[in-house]
Structure 1
Amino acid sequence: MTQELNRVDPVAQIANLRVEIDGRAIVDGVNLRVLPGRVTALVGASGSGKTTTGLALLGEYPSGARVTGDVRVPEGGLVGYVPQHPAAVLNPARRVCALLNDIARTQVRHLPRRERRAATRELLLRALADAQLPDAEALLRRFPHQLSGGQQQRVVLAQALLLGARVIVADEPTTGQDALTKSRIVDQLSAVAAKGIAVVLLSHDLDVVRALADDVLVMRAGQVVESGPPERLWLAPRHEWTRRLLDARAPGPQHEPPPIAAQAVLHVRDMTARHRDGDRGTTVAVRVPELTVQAGECLAVVGRSGSGKTTLARCLAGLHRDHSGEILLDGRPLPHSLRQRDRDQLAAVQYVFQDARAAFDDYRPVLDQVARTAVRLRGADAETAEAEALATLTRLGLPEELASRRPARLSGGELQRAALARALLAQPRVLLCDEITSGLDTVTRRGLLDVLAGLLRDRDDLSLVLITHDLDTARLAHRIAVLDAGELVEQGPAPRVLTEPRHPFTVSLMETTARLAAGT
């Protein structure tokens, strides 16, 4: 089989690629053959060189980089790209229909003018369906900020499919996705490969890699340390780093519920949140009759992408004000909008965003931005705030050398720790963590989960709300609430929900997660 594949002409190829920045090699001696109809996966920790290698196929390199080696791509450069953070490539001022129409029109311009509009529409709807986006008509009217992270990811995938590329570089396409959506993306990318299109998958999600990839390259510190088919790597990894990546997938700890508090620190009652749908009025995004978070408790909110998880969290933080019902903090109503909350209320409920890089100012050192929280929300002086910020960053595993850098020089995992430290400097009562492990490799994710578990042990006055699609992350929680299509369908102690789910959607979620973990 290997000899037969070696005789197949690659649709794209990288030979002895080396990328240096300031004399430091971030990719060193990488070779990659991209074959038509096959999925080649690059796995490794954040900062290992996966994205730099993938972007080389598009001719994109970091600013100021010195590049040597040979990169060959299809004639015409038809390489599609699905980035890890889709919001960065979606114009926030244009509706989804406009974003996709621009590409679709280029595909039908050879048709007579009277046929183009219908053909464009057909292409659009087909691409959205192929990208696993249901209710396409409603979605086309929305702006990118009205979509969940998973929906944004699939819109970008639809753009790549509309381009008709011979190679698609998918950079963490399952980031922020639930198991059911991951399974559909596996099916979709498999279907793309079945059409003879080469797929280069850059991923930390080893379950998805095992289910999808034909060939796997394991990267560390810019080099390929091991390669082969996933069956061999999973059963008999040869390199220590491959073994560490696989071992870090072990389930995390489960916690017993904390003692019943006299009063919930956070209480949601009769909440209905809405999204504005252009000139058509509003649509219901999430409906929660009742939900409580006790002091010292970790509550995980799980569900598929677009189920309303992030909208719920944004309502709690005052970032989404178009909702009815009550949010009580220590029994007292919280204003719907953060603009109406006083300094103590702002400090009490803090939000850690999924895309940590977008949450930082590119032009200021991370340490300054973390310290600013203590100045603005607690009235600390600049010197005290900086000392406290540095101590918190160090405790979370980010030393002063890294903290003094600008965000662009930190990895995704390092920036997530910085974002967590910034929120903690407010000394919050409730910490909302929105998919903060979704873009991380298994080793970095395990480290961040250990940090969160340590916070629960060290601060009995801190409550965590974890917005997550990942059931391994949900194991950290005392209780789990399950959302489906904007409705709260199940909630209860984490051990019970994970092992004895009662609602059909929860059952389906658990079963699909198990199948992905088994590589089927």
Structure 2
Amino acid sequence: MTAEYETGAPVAEIRDLRVETDGRAIVAGVNLRVLPGQVTALVGASGSGKTTTGLALLGEYPPAARVTGDVRVSGTVGHIPQHPAAVLNPARRISALLTDIARTQVRDLPRGQRRTAARERVLRALSDAQLPDPEAMLRRYPHQLSGGQQQRVVIAQALLLGARVIVADEPTTGQDALTKSRIVDELAAVAARGIAVVLLSHDLDVVRALADEVLVMKAGRVVESGPAERLWLAPRHEWTRRLLDTRPPSPRERPAEDTTEPVLRIRDLTARHGGSVVVRAPRLTLHPAECLAVVGRSGSGKTTLARCLAGLHRDHEGVVALDGTPLPRSLRHRDRAELRAVQYVFQDARAAFDEYRPVLDQVARTAVRLRGIDRQTAEEQALTTLTGLGLAPDQARRRPPRLSGGELQRAALARALLAHPRVLICDEITSGLDTVTRRGILDVLERLLRERDDLSLVLITHDLDTARLAHRIAVLDAGELVEQGPAERVLTAPEHPFTVSLMETTARLEAETGA
């Protein structure tokens, strides 16, 4: 149901919303009031119901869902999805995408004025969305923009539509501190225009910086709500206190066996995308039982470097050696022992699983394929590993859609560990998780490093708190390896100007949010 509100009243309101799928309530009894020019944040663990609640303002629900309650909205609702490229037509330039919207706003003008008026509206929207050089932006296709630029184009679309409410779904997932700071500024500017922002986020630093009101969700219900300042200073519910407990791990001391021969050595690595050099790493090593964190801004080349190590990016020169023996560039040319030795855990765990087969079957297949053991033994080992990582046997036997993001990430870790790897590469595996689930994954990694002296870890991350898990840190900027050294030294006394800027921005964001 949609209704107009009087001036000064909420621009959107949800009353007693209940959404059921397969007889299970994923949202139960949620109430929400959204005021003009304010930021209302919904926070909670994966599967808590915050996305379902936010999308209800757009009239979107899971397939075959049973919905009760009342959702009322005044005016247009814009949407900034977690992955903005998904809502931008890749075959059309930005000018075409935005002009189509602008033309609907100038239909009442004389025909000779419409084109000029539409273009002016487009340029103003891009400027209001804080996109530099709007004229140049109009000539590009979505794939020629960074993730942050794509996000700002989506904001421009919402501004052109005259949105009174914007639902921002995890807008900072996978972003470094510098990009996060820019996103905070963008959303604050949107709210300053009198537009209501509904922020769905696990990133409590961003919520602290932006939110006026906060709703804390758990298992489909709001367990606590109120003004942001009160909630940070005096949380009342135990679950809220757990979410706010964001203590990072302490920097780890360098292992005593640092003088041993590296398990992995990189020399003169140059990686390309379509002829353009995207990564240069003259020298980088990983020692036995060591954790190396690779940090940098989004688009700095961290994932490309990791994919070169795993044989997933073959367009590179130089040497990647395992125990002194060069590895083939492509995993297609690596033998079973080489595939087993270097395992990769992807950021998007859900996309890495077949949604139609039980998780246990998919985890066990790794041991059958790479270690050559029989199916029954593989399933027994898979179940032991999964339960050791915190998944109950009934969860292990479910299909991926029935598990949360954090549960699937644990399953992805189990699958890689079942190969008995020498090197485990974890690519942003905590970036899309809430603080509780993220802490649980980091605890698992800390335990693996403590208990497995035959395992080394490469941790790809934009999050400097997560990087504290490492013994050493390597910093990438625009594809160049600009600094590396012991984690405590890099985090507290960085030497390269980019690393200094990264640390200062992180400290400033924490100071602004009171973290």
TM-score by length of 1: 0.89
Aligned to 1:469: 462
Aligned to 1:106: 100
Aligned to 1:203: 201
Matches within 5 A, 1:489-504: 489-504=482-497
**Letter matched to residue 390 of structure 1:** L
- Report which stretch shifted further, 78-87 or 66-75: 78-87
Aligned to 2:318: 325
Say which of 362, 381, 396 aligns to 1:388. 381
Aligned to 2:58: 58
Q: 1:452-509, CA deviations, whole angstroms, 9 ceiling, x for partnerless residues?
A: 0011011111111111111110000000011111111111000111111112221222
Say which of 265, 268, 272 aligns to 1:267. 265
Contact 1:85 1:153 in 2 (8 A): no
| Alignment of 1:155 onto 2:153 | no
Identity over the aligned pairs, expressed in percent? Answer: 72
Say which of 441, 459, 465 aligns to 1:448. 441
Aligned to 1:20: 20
Q: 1:96-131, CA deviations, whole angstroms, 9 ceiling, x for partnerless residues?
A: xx2644521313435869995997699489749946
Contact 1:300 1:465 in 2 (8 A): yes
| Alignment of 1:351 onto 2:362 | no
Q: How big is the shift at 1:396?
A: 0.5
Q: 1:288-316, CA deviations, whole angstroms, 9 ceiling, x for partnerless residues?
A: 11111111110001111111111111111
Aligned to 2:451: 458
Aligned to 2:251: 254
| Alignment of 1:236 onto 2:234 | yes
- Report which stretch shifted further, 387-396 or 111-120: 111-120
Aligned to 2:331: 338
Q: How big is the shift at 1:89?
A: 5.0
Aligned to 1:72: 72
State the distance in 2 between where 1:121 and 1:482 align: 42
State the distance in 1 between where 2:267 and 2:293 align: 18
State the distance in 2 between where 1:274 and 1:138 align: 25
Q: How big is the shift at 1:18?
A: 0.9
Contact 2:142 2:150 in 1 (8 A): no
User: Structure 1 residues 190 and 476 mapped into 2: Cα distance closer, same or farther (>3 Å)?
Assistant: same
Matches within 5 A, 1:175-214: 175-214=173-212
**Letter matched to residue 99 of structure 2:** R
State the distance in 2 between where 1:168 and 1:42 align: 13
Contact 2:288 2:453 in 1 (8 A): yes
| Alignment of 1:44 onto 2:44 | yes
Q: 1:196-243, CA deviations, whole angstroms, 9 ceiling, x for partnerless residues?
A: 221111111111100111111111111111112221111111111111
User: Structure 1 residues 70 and 118 mapped into 2: Cα distance closer, same or farther (>3 Å)?
Assistant: closer
State the distance in 2 between where 1:449 and 1:368 align: 25
Give the paired residue count: 500
State the distance in 1 between where 2:380 and 2:134 align: 50
User: Structure 1 residues 105 and 143 mapped into 2: Cα distance closer, same or farther (>3 Å)?
Assistant: closer
Aligned to 1:399: 392
Say which of 200, 203, 218 aligns to 1:220. 218
User: Structure 1 residues 134 and 230 mapped into 2: Cα distance closer, same or farther (>3 Å)?
Assistant: farther
**Letter matched to residue 30 of structure 1:** V
State the distance in 2 between where 1:399 and 1:166 align: 44
User: Structure 1 residues 313 and 130 mapped into 2: Cα distance closer, same or farther (>3 Å)?
Assistant: farther
State the distance in 2 between where 1:261 and 1:330 align: 14
Contact 1:190 1:212 in 2 (8 A): yes
State the distance in 1 between where 2:287 and 2:154 align: 43
Q: How big is the shift at 1:262?
A: 2.7
Contact 2:319 2:326 in 1 (8 A): yes
State the distance in 2 between where 1:266 and 1:289 align: 14
Say which of 300, 314, 324 aligns to 1:307. 300
State the distance in 1 between where 2:458 and 2:66 align: 44
Structure 2, unmatched stretches of 5+, are 1-5
Aligned to 2:419: 426
User: Structure 1 residues 7 and 121 mapped into 2: Cα distance closer, same or farther (>3 Å)?
Assistant: closer
Look up the SS of the partner of 1:260 in the other structure: helix
Aligned to 1:35: 35
User: Structure 1 residues 46 and 154 mapped into 2: Cα distance closer, same or farther (>3 Å)?
Assistant: farther
State the distance in 1 between where 2:130 and 2:365 align: 41
User: Structure 1 residues 102 and 407 mapped into 2: Cα distance closer, same or farther (>3 Å)?
Assistant: farther
Matches within 5 A, 1:85-124: 85-86=83-84, 89=87, 94=90, 98=92, 100-109=94-103, 110=106, 123=122
**Letter matched to residue 252 of structure 2:** H
Look up the SS of the partner of 2:466 in the other structure: helix
Contact 2:366 2:418 in 1 (8 A): yes
State the distance in 2 between where 1:392 and 1:136 align: 54
Look up the SS of the partner of 1:518 in the other structure: helix
Rg larger in structure: 2
User: Structure 1 residues 485 and 31 mapped into 2: Cα distance closer, same or farther (>3 Å)?
Assistant: same
**Letter matched to residue 492 of structure 1:** G
Look up the SS of the partner of 1:36 in the other structure: coil
User: Structure 1 residues 467 and 119 mapped into 2: Cα distance closer, same or farther (>3 Å)?
Assistant: farther
State the distance in 2 between where 1:139 and 1:297 align: 47
Matches within 5 A, 1:481-492: 481-492=474-485
State the distance in 2 between where 1:423 and 1:442 align: 23
Aligned to 2:506: 513
Matches within 5 A, 1:281-300: 282-300=275-293
Contact 2:94 2:141 in 1 (8 A): no
Contact 1:131 1:155 in 2 (8 A): no
| Alignment of 1:480 onto 2:473 | yes
Structure 1, unmatched stretches of 5+, are 1-5, 277-281
Q: How big is the shift at 1:189?
A: 0.5
State the distance in 2 between where 1:216 and 1:273 align: 44
- Report which stretch shifted further, 82-91 or 319-328: 82-91
| Alignment of 1:369 onto 2:362 | yes
Q: How big is the shift at 1:515?
A: 2.2
User: Structure 1 residues 195 and 138 mapped into 2: Cα distance closer, same or farther (>3 Å)?
Assistant: closer
Aligned to 1:173: 171
Look up the SS of the partner of 1:510 in the other structure: helix
Aligned to 1:9: 9
Contact 2:358 2:400 in 1 (8 A): yes
Look up the SS of the partner of 1:436 in the other structure: coil
Say which of 406, 426, 440 aligns to 1:413. 406
